[in-house]
Amino acid sequence: MVRAARILLMVFVVAIAVIVLWPGPPAADAQNSLRDFLAHAHRSWLPRWVSFGLIEWLSNVVMFVPIGFLGALAVRPQRLLWVIPACALASTVIELVQQAALPDRTASVADIVANTLGGVIGVLLTRLPAVRRRAGG
């Protein structure tokens, strides 16, 4: 299980790196479509607090859940809590690179918070009894 988690973690980290280090905003057309959908939905049924910014922030949380989950499965149990600062550090590096080298991307402390929260959620999910049984821990 540890080896599989390490391999999946590496694959996921590469996929995330491609997404977050892409020169421009990922899926710009999809983002515009989402903005259009939200504008229409706000006029008819969707509460205004469900905003593009909220969805973008939540997507940053969700993006790091697998990293926290797989990271926690990939390390020894006594190193489990190292995964959370590793997620925070990785997110900080991502935001610094976006700020310094990707002018069409926007660096944000809120993204660091969201990514770290996603990592925490992923780590916590590994503590669920069913996951612990399957992982042998």
Q: Does residue 41 belong to any structural domain of this protein?
A: no
**Is 111 among the domain residues?**
yes
pLDDT of residue 137: 60
* Confidence check: pLDDT of 27 > 90: no
Helix ranges restricted to H, 28-82 = 28-44, 52-74
- What does the pLDDT read at residue 136? 66
Quick check: 11 pLDDT over 90?
Answer: yes
Task: Evaluate whether residue 107 is within a structural domain.
Answer: yes
Q: Please indicate, yes or no, if residue 32 is contained in any of the structural domains.
A: no
Question: How much is the pLDDT for 98?
Answer: 94
Q: Is residue 37 in some structural domain?
A: no
What secondary structure letter does DSSP report for 112? H
Q: In the chain, pLDDT over 90 holds for what percent of residues? A: 74
Q: For residues 71 and 84, what is the distance between their CA atoms, to the nearest angstrom? A: 9
Residue 43 lies in a domain: no
How many structural domains compose the chain?
A: 1
Range of the domain at 96: 2-15+51-135
- Would you say residue 31 lies in a domain? no
> Which two three-digit tokens encode residue 123?
């780590």
| 127 belongs to a structural domain | yes
Question: Helices 52-74 & 28-44, crossing angle to 10 degrees?
Answer: 120
Q: Is 21 helix (H, G, I), strand (E, B) or coil?
A: coil
| Per-residue DSSP letter, 80 | G
